[in-house]
Structure formats: C-alpha cells, structure tokens
Amino acid sequence: MTIPTTHPFDFDPTYGMEQEQLLAIQPPEAPPGFDEFWQQRYKAAIAIDPQPRLRHSRLRHDDWHVFDISYMSTGSFQINGWLIVPRTGQVRRGLIVGHGYGGRDQPEFDLPVEETAVLFPCSRGLSLSASPQIPSDASGHVLYGIESRDTYIIGGCVEDIWLGVSALHTLYPWLAGHIGYSGISFGGGIGALAIPFDARIKRGHLVVPTFGHRQLWLTLPTVGSAQSVQAYQKQHGSVLETLRFFDAAIAASRITVPMLVAPALFDPAVAPPCQFSVANALQKFNEIFILDAGHFDYAGSEEQNAILRDKVGRFFKVP
C-alpha cells in the first residue's frame, strides 16, 4: 500500500480514516419522494427521440472508426461527443463513458473493450456541449440551478446519459440488453444516479465517484467541486434539501446490476468517505477495487491502474 504521505494541501486527504473505517460508511437515508422524483424524470426522458447524428471525425485511429455525434436530450439540449466503433469484428455491446469535471477533448482509444460501440458524450454545459447560459468551469457548473431539485444541472446531466442510451438503441437496435456505463469522478457520480433508474444499463464501472453522502460532501475540506458549493452555502444558506435528491450513495443502494467500483483511500478532490459511501451502498456481490489515491500522482499508480484495467476488460467482456 502506497498512500501518499506528503502533499501540498492544508488538510489531510485521508481525513484520518483507515480502510476499515471507510468500508463501514453507510449511505444516508433517502429523502421522501426520492425514487418517484427520478422515476418521473426517467419516464419523461425516454419519451424523447434523441435523433442522433453522425459524421466522420477529423480524428483518426488505426483500430477505431471515429465519428462526431450529436443527439437531443431533455429541454431540447443538444449533447455533443464522439462515437468510436471497432474497425474489425462485430458490434455486440455498447458502452457509454462519462468524464470528470475537467471535461473531455477526445475519445479514449485505449479502453480494454472489444466488439463494442463506445459513446463519449460531453455533459451539458461542458466541453463540446458547452452553452453560453451554463458556466463551463467545475466551480460554476456544479452550482447551476442548485436553488431547486427541478432546475439543478446535475439532473440534466443524468438525463443526458439516459438519452445517450436511447441514441445507442436508435443506431444499434440489437444492442438492447447489452449496454454498460463507465465513469470517473463527476462521471462516476452521474453514473451512480443514472444506472438504478434505467433498466437498459446492464452493468457499470465507477472510479473515485463523487456526489456520495451529501452531508459529508458539504462539510469535508476539498479542492474539488464541493468546495464551491460549500462556499455558496455559507453565503446563501443550506442547499442540502436540493442535494439530498442527487446523492450518489442513496442512488447506488438502488442498483441491482453488476458493478465494479474503484474508490480511493486518499483524494483531495473527492473525499474518500463520500466515495466509499457509494461503493458500500452497492449489493455485496459487486467488486470494490480500492485505489491508494485518486486525483493525485502516487508511487504504485501504474501497477494499480494496470490491475484495474485488466478487471475492467474482463468486466465488460462480450460473452
């Protein structure tokens, strides 16, 4: 175990917690109406025709056909991103890959998957899906619409994933029942919220997921997106009543499909207690692969990431 012992932060990114303590953290109680809130949003979202549009991308790769893709999401919001399809073999599985709060500037061509159409959507307001109305930086984006659960940007980002599934169904109808999701950090939190309410997503992989256990998320020091929400709350009053409906740990407790989750013991951007609240909420047949650190370079990271990559390849392997 090579948890970093030196760092530039004025707080302890382990929060003084050992692995056993982190594995004991449980998700908070759901607010009344939590499931109905998401079920209604899902019902409205899947009624939308995503109208996916493809064009050959300027990007080229030896192993993948690369397309620029756009599709419609809720609120008539156009989501842009990339779709990559293997040059050889059949397309037998679909995978949606979420991104962190740093956004995305190109697809990931080294994913350990085969015979898979991979969709890389940019969440509304970020990267290729930027909008003049929505701040494109993490500290501003995470606050957009936070006054109400009905206007909060994170809800729209979850719907963008659901409409991504719809887009894959439109393009490749035979992939129904064979679509997975993978997301890191921001994308991990969004995935935890999206997966339990969309039965079309059959398995999920989350790395250092955020948005878990919002009470802790609002209090633990961080350099991540929670920092700006904590500052906003000091000035404008509690936002917990909104955020309780966007708690990734509560949502994860509703997930019934196979999951592979990788939380970290040390993380200055997403507090480990929040990450583990998501991992621990899952049903016990799922695998938790514990990283020494997240959002931070550390000795041994290459070895751990190689092991995780191998697990991911087996997890998403076409049967």
Confidence category of residue 92, pLDDT binned at 50, 70, 90: very high
* Per-residue pLDDT at 1: 66
Cα–Cα nearest to 175, from 96, 249, 263: 96
- With respect to residue 190, please indicate whether it lies within any of the assigned structural domains: yes
The boundaries of the domain holding residue 70 are 19-310
In one-letter notation, the amino acid at residue 120 is F
* Per-residue pLDDT at 182: 99
The dihedral through the CA atoms of 246, 96, 101, 305 has a sign that is positive
- With respect to residue 157, please indicate whether it lies within any of the assigned structural domains: yes
Average of per-residue pLDDT across 195-200:
99
Q: Count how many domains the chain has.
A: 1
DSSP state, 78? Answer: E
- With respect to residue 10, please indicate whether it lies within any of the assigned structural domains: no
Judged against a pLDDT cut of 90, whether residue 190 lies above it is answered with yes
Neighbours of 139 (CB within 10 A): 16
CATH code, domain carrying 150: 3.40.50.1820
The response to whether 101 counts as a known ligand-binding position is: yes
Judged against a pLDDT cut of 80, whether residue 76 lies above it is answered with yes
* Per-residue pLDDT at 2: 81
Q: In the chain, what percentage of residues exceed pLDDT 70?
A: 99
Confidence category of residue 62, pLDDT binned at 50, 70, 90: very high
- With respect to residue 8, please indicate whether it lies within any of the assigned structural domains: no
As a whole number of angstroms, the longest Cα–Cα distance in the chain is 56
Any idea how long the chain is? 319
- With respect to residue 285, please indicate whether it lies within any of the assigned structural domains: yes
Average of per-residue pLDDT across 275-286:
96
Average of per-residue pLDDT across 278-305:
95
Average of per-residue pLDDT across 288-297:
97
Cα–Cα nearest to 122, from 56, 170, 77, 92: 77
How, if at all, do strands 116-121 and 201-207 pair? unpaired
- With respect to residue 2, please indicate whether it lies within any of the assigned structural domains: no
pLDDT tens for each residue of 214-247? 999 999 999 999 999 999 999 999 999 999 999 9
- With respect to residue 32, please indicate whether it lies within any of the assigned structural domains: yes
Q: pTM, whole model, 2 decimals? A: 0.97
- With respect to residue 319, please indicate whether it lies within any of the assigned structural domains: no
pLDDT tens for each residue of 98-146? 999 999 999 999 999 999 999 999 999 999 999 999 999 999 999 999 9
Average pLDDT, the chain: 97
d(CA 258, CA 310): 17
Judged against a pLDDT cut of 70, whether residue 210 lies above it is answered with yes
